Structure 1
Amino acid sequence: MSSLRDPLVEIGPELSAEELQRYSRHLLLPEVGVPGQRRLKNARVLVIGAGGLGSPVISYLAAAGVGSLAVIDDDVVDVSNLQRQVLHGVASVGAAKVDSAAGAVRDLNPLVSFEAIEDRLTSSNALELFSRFDLVIDGSDNFATRYLVSDACEILRKPLVWGSILRFDGQVSLFWAGHGPSYRDVFPEPPPADAVPSCSEAGVFGMLCGVIGSAMAGEAIKLITGVGSLLLGRLQVYDALESSWRTVRVSPDPERQPVTSLIDYQEFCGIQPPASVAIDASSLAPGFQWIDVRSPSETALGTMPRAILLPKAQIDAGEYSSLPRDVDLLLFCRTGMRSAAAVLALRAAGFERVWSVAGGVDPEDWA
């Protein structure tokens, strides 16, 4: 895309003396200058998530002088977040992530108007919320939210800066229905709910958040100011182990029907396991056997007392001959998705007294 394209945001109010000093290094760049900084001051940006990707995105957009910055997140800061979510500190553990983010932004740049939205993004609030902003940045960590964000942006014709991370790999792109591909053009269907582990299940290289999040923030600033070439029609993939980038060309799918309404994204992504396999542990008679289907790297950090360790990969491979058949088996993982899939596999193999813990089990429950 040409660098001469129109900037996303109109030039805003004059810069104050304090702003001229604070943003002086931007003003020295001919491509940005005072007009570009005034566009940043006039911009309204919504960030989805104040976690691993949200941390560098929020920090750099606030530092850059984005005038109105909002973040929606309903999670709280956990000590395990601090390895990569650098927006938060020890003092914020237990606090709402948006409140922690608000404090960090105040310390970094009090000239920015920051809106902390402690809420879960849903099909009922997304369109109204998104309509208030020029640009949406998706730093979420699950497929249901990614499809919801993409569909809402497509309906409203809002540009969407998107990124994702897992283990040592990251991806970043710009989606904008009407101007280029959307998320659904690149990822038309979600993977099976138990096929892709979350960061809490598979781990994530902490510094990867900074690399991908910084790239997302840069894309947003270029879009707002009209500087440089955008990732519209390009998806960049980063391998932290190899320190390498590769670019994948993407384009709109001419066969895809445009999105006109929002749906139930939990159902669309298959997040709700069949009711026939999920059960509460209290519903079983005493004497049942816990089965931990998480990976060895997860169970190395601890597991339920008396639990048999049997990773789902072994169940999928048919390696379950040691499981007893004369007691009730209660399978569990962190979210309840892998254990539900494992239950279906065992039932297909002839096990009758086997269930999955509804909603999963948080490792902190047995720590």
Structure 2
Amino acid sequence: MNDEALLRYSRQIMLEPIEIAGQERLLASHALVIGAGGLGSPVALYLAAAGVGRLTLADADVVELSNLQRQIAHGMDDLGRNKAASAREAALALNPDCRVEVLDAHLDGETLAAAVAESDVVIDCTDRFSSRYAINRASLAAGKPLISGAAIRFSGQLAVFDPRDAESPCYACLYPPGEAGEADDALRCAENGVVAPLVGVIGTFQALEAVKLLSGAGTPHRGLSTFDGLRGEWRHFKVPRDPACAACRSR
């Protein structure tokens, strides 16, 4: 790191769990952020600001006026633009030294597998069960940790799944396909609404877990954390690995 970088990241470097070595690990790391909307906006901005050296932002959607209530990486001038491209511009405005790449198509199959394999951590900021299951399968296949977040109405949740840990569950252990149900893809912000700051609470939590995993600081989150925004209450649940899980039982 040069003098400018030392000054930029000085408030993190002075933290004992991070220090110089942890910051250098961040600068050498690569995070894949799938979804550049409500959750992906704070994730992208905070990871760029924190010094993650390479970000890949994936989103096929374009910015609409109704997004601006909560998707803070975008502004009025971005209406009609691809969300990943818009978020890239916002991230670079915070930290021009961050390498930010854009994938402006829906990731699936080989393209998803390749993007996950190139990363050090995957942050799922999507809002469809079908996408979450696909990302989970790709994370398991590549052996990459997955940070999953969700937010709807006044409720949010976060879980971290790490296939490098033999005891760690996967997303399908938590929500077995057929029980959560791809039909529940209808539970999206567009159909049900979401209070604006909630996505910031969950997205920032996702970014924090990514910084911890990439820098080596602290202990990664375990289990499932849920947040009730109307009551201002967090709850934490243990989530054991399901030995019969169709997605990860061969691990």
Q: TM class by shorter-chain length?
A: over 0.9
Corresponding position: 1:230 with 2:220: yes
Query: What's the offset of the Cα at 1:192?
Result: 5.7
Letter in 1 for 2:95: N
CA distance in 2, matches of 1:47, 1:197: 21
Q: Tell me, yes or no, if the aligned pair for 2:149 and 2:203 is still in contact at 8 Å.
A: yes
Q: Tell me, yes or no, if the aligned pair for 1:134 and 1:158 is still in contact at 8 Å.
A: yes
Alignment of structure 1 residues 69-84 onto 2, 5 Å: 69-84=55-70
Aligned length: 246
Query: What's the offset of the Cα at 1:102?
Result: 1.4
CA distance in 2, matches of 1:169, 1:182: 21
- What SS does structure 2 have at the residue aligned with 1:193? helix
Residue of structure 1 in register with 2:239 after alignment: 250
Corresponding position: 1:186 with 2:174: yes
Query: What's the offset of the Cα at 1:260?
Result: 9.5
User: Given the alignment, which residue of 217, 230, 249 partners 2:207?
Assistant: 217
Aligned-CA RMSD value? 1.6
- TM-score normalised by length of structure 1: 0.65
Letter in 1 for 2:33: V
Residue of structure 2 in register with 1:338 after alignment: none
Residue of structure 2 in register with 1:11 after alignment: none
Corresponding position: 1:240 with 2:226: no
CA distance in 2, matches of 1:27, 1:101: 26
Between Structure 1 and Structure 2, which shows a larger proportion of helix residues?
Answer: 2
User: Given the alignment, which residue of 111, 116, 123 partners 2:102?
Assistant: 116
Q: Tell me, yes or no, if the aligned pair for 1:155 and 1:260 is still in contact at 8 Å.
A: no
Alpha carbons of structure 1 residues 91 and 133: separation in structure 2 relative to 1, 3 Å: same
The one of the two structures with greater contact order (alpha-carbon pairs below 8 A, sep at least 6) is 2
Structure 2: give runs of 5+ residues left out of the alignment.
Answer: none
1:231-284, CA deviations, whole angstroms, 9 ceiling, x for partnerless residues?
A: 13x1100011000100010011012234599xxxxxxxxxxxxxxxxxxxxxxx
Query: What's the offset of the Cα at 1:196?
Result: 4.7
Query: What's the offset of the Cα at 1:191?
Result: 2.2
Letter in 2 for 1:97: K
Question: Which of these two proteins has the greater Rg computed from alpha carbons?
Answer: 1
Corresponding position: 1:175 with 2:158: no
User: Given the alignment, which residue of 48, 54, 60 partners 2:34?
Assistant: 48
Query: What's the offset of the Cα at 1:194?
Result: 5.3
